[in-house]
Amino acid sequence: MALSPYSRMPGQWQTEHISRKQYDKVDNTTLSIPCHSQRDIIGTMTTTNATHTALSSASLIRRLMSSIYDLLLVLALWFVTGTMAIALNHGNAIRPDDPFYLFFVSILILISFFYYTYFWTHGGQTLGMKTWRIRLVAQNGNAVSWQQAMRYFFAALLSWAMLGLGFFWSVFDLNRATWHDKIAGCRILDLRNSAHAA
């Protein structure tokens, strides 16, 4: 038997005792609470990444249909930008020999760049990808960083520039990976059977 830390003073002529086994039980229970909390947090993170890893990669058809959807939206943004440019150019179209032509083309490229990279880094889904229920994630299942999104954007342009060969490569790849998937270290998931298809 051991004296409890909470025993009364000797002057009160009373002494309380608790067993060593009971004291250890209380002590261990108190100290183990932070450990359980840490394990729960780590377990939740591991489960989320494992869920992403277990999902299958999106098929080429779903990728292409999503790309067409997004292309129409980007073209609409280009149309609005072009209309504003013509208005600022006194009603004249911006032609290749116009001194503002390169600036105008740069604006269109920036619009496209920020449309895709913003959505990829904020949820991993463009509007077209949400419609076709696919999502861009890093290879380890984490969210895509700005650096990865930038590499993915320009690598995707390269895939299209090679007559779409970078896209069609996914048909022959065991993991359905395109060239830009490999270059950026990303993958596109098919969310049709996932609880994360928000």
58 near 176, Cβ under 8 Å?
yes
Domain boundaries, the chain: 2-6+15-53, 59-190
**Predicted local confidence at residue 53, as pLDDT:** 52
Note the pLDDT of residue 193.
Answer: 76
List of long-range contacts for 161-170, beta carbons under 8 Å, 24+ apart: 167/60, 167/63, 167/64, 168/60, 170/57, 170/60, 170/63
For the entire predicted model, the pTM comes to: 0.71
| pLDDT value for 41 | 43
Return the structure tokens found at 121.
Answer: 């880094």
CA dist list (Å): 51 to 77, 118, 184: 35, 24, 21
- pLDDT-flagged residues of the chain (< 50): 4-21, 23-48, 50-51, 197-198
Q: How far apart are CA 118 and CA 147, in angstroms?
A: 12
Q: What tokens does 145 get?
A: 């960083």
Q: How far is CA 74 from CA 78, 111, 125, 127, in A?
A: 6, 8, 15, 11
Q: What angle do CA 117, 123, 128 make, to 5 degrees?
A: 70
Question: Residue 55: what pLDDT?
Answer: 84
**What 3-state DSSP class applies to 134?**
strand
